[in-house]
Amino acid sequence: MKAGPKLKPFCKRGHEMIPENLYIAPNGRRRCVACHKLLMKDRPKTMLQSMPEYMAYCSAKSRCNHVGNRAYPSYGGRGIRFNFVSFEEFLRELGLRPSPKHSLDRINNDGNYETGNVRWATAKEQLYNRRPYVLSSFSDSDLLAEVKRRNLCPQ
């Protein structure tokens, strides 16, 4: 038999501690997602929570750490880790989101969320990053427009 602490099958409020209801924090502690949602439900949004940068931070963290997240299989499930230890560190690396068209992107799609591998990118920029097959889904005029957009220097 394995040594070590036994996992309780239910949280203190009686929610079942199945993988879909577990949030595993980077320090290995397990939290009950159902309880967390209950706590958050009636709480007014803080300034932080209304920042798109903070939302991006939370969703990326959840995709990597929360087994119940719908996107988990494509992130945490295939070894992508969320290595920022705080929102402050995350924001220092990325800066403010340049526009609502930008979303969080990893430069190397197989790499982790960490310093040096994250940026704000538009949907189009993100598509370009998923080489090579996506290029074929762009028409010639799309490509031309993108080339023009990137060369913003005088003609």
Residues 14, 16, 19, 24, Cα dihedral to 10°: 10
The helix or strand, by DSSP H or E, that contains position 122, with its residue range, turns out to be strand 118-122
Determine, following the binding rule CB under 5 A, whether residue 24 of this chain makes contact with Zn ion.
no
Taking alpha carbons only, the member of 64, 126, 61, 111 closest to residue 89 is: 61
Determine, following the binding rule CB under 5 A, whether residue 32 of this chain makes contact with Zn ion.
yes
- The amino acid occupying position 61 is K
Determine, following the binding rule CB under 5 A, whether residue 30 of this chain makes contact with Zn ion.
no
Determine, following the binding rule CB under 5 A, whether residue 34 of this chain makes contact with Zn ion.
yes
Contact range with Zn ion by CB under 5 A, out of 33-41, 78-86, 89-97, 103-111: 33-41
24 vs 55 by CB, closer to Zn ion: 24
Residue of 2, 13, 45, 131 interacting with Zn ion (CB under 5 A): 13
Tokens coding 89: 């560190």
Q: Which residues bind Zn ion (CB under 5 A)?
A: 11, 13, 15, 32, 34-35
